Amino acid sequence: MSKKSIKPRKKPVQERSKAKVEQILQAVLQLLSESGLEGVTAIKIAEKGELSVASIYQYFPNIKAVIVFLYEKWLKELLLTYDRIEKKYYLKIPMDEFFTRLGDAFLTKTIFDPRAEAELFRASDVYPVLRAVDHEHSDIIAQRIAGYLKGYGSYWDKEKLKTFSLFIYQIMCTLQRNYVEERYGASRQFKQWGEFMLLNLIKECFNRNKLKTKLLPSINPII
């Protein structure tokens, strides 16, 4: 499928058009929550959103384009999470506390309904085009994490830090997916262990003789 075919037909400018697109997106999110990815069809979107099928295709060429649009919107919201944490805490608090706050916000934040987010995760497995979107987003996040590490005094070079940061981000994504989908019935414990592991990994790219951080929190066994 060409790149053009997954892009919105036109960008809404007027308030009425923006409201219509939002109406479409909300209908899709409800369907994702209620009946999963397979339940999202033009007819069902129209019924759920109380609009015509023609109005859907006025803004999107197909249903896949709507899913891609929602997925990209979700990723942009995650970037805003980084913006907020960075603005409030970056270099103002110890490194381990900063990354704890960043990880906690990332792992537990849900932009949409958790079931809808779980279906968007699944869409990234179903639609190859979303893998390219993920790759681009991961590259952006890896550069930001590398910048944070450098700012806190890592002695690693830029390229190694970026590769390391990509690895860190992929672990965070796996933890987030488990948390949102509540896999294995131990999402809270997984989050705690995950944060402990990530903080210890992050310490590997610092000169420990020069780094001033608080002691890592102890972890509790599953009860």
Q: Residue 163's domain is classified under what CATH number?
A: 1.10.357.10
Widest distance between CA atoms in the chain: 65
Confidence (pLDDT) at 6 = 62
| Residue length of the chain | 223
Confidence (pLDDT) at 203 = 87
Burial of 128 (0-12, 13-18, 19+ CB in 10 A): exposed
Kindly state whether residue 152 falls inside one of the protein's structural domains: yes
Contact of 169 with 145, CB cutoff 8 Å: yes
Kindly state whether residue 218 falls inside one of the protein's structural domains: no
Confidence (pLDDT) at 182 = 64
Residues ≥6 apart with Cβ < 8 Å to 92: none
* Residue 167: CB atoms within 10 Å: 13
Confidence (pLDDT) at 117 = 86
Kindly state whether residue 219 falls inside one of the protein's structural domains: no
Kindly state whether residue 51 falls inside one of the protein's structural domains: yes
Host domain of residue 28: 3-205
Confidence (pLDDT) at 201 = 87
Kindly state whether residue 217 falls inside one of the protein's structural domains: no
Kindly state whether residue 191 falls inside one of the protein's structural domains: yes
Total structural domains in the chain?
A: 1
Confidence (pLDDT) at 214 = 46
CA distances from 160 to 143, 205, 216 (A): 11, 9, 24
Confidence (pLDDT) at 221 = 38
Confidence (pLDDT) at 14 = 72
Closest CA to 29 of 99, 119, 130: 119
Confidence (pLDDT) at 215 = 39
Residues ≥6 apart with Cβ < 8 Å to 168: 145, 198, 201, 202
Kindly state whether residue 81 falls inside one of the protein's structural domains: yes
pLDDT mean for each 10 residues of the chain (223 residues): 55 75 94 93 94 92 92 89 93 92 79 84 87 90 94 92 93 78 63 83 74 44 36
Kindly state whether residue 45 falls inside one of the protein's structural domains: yes
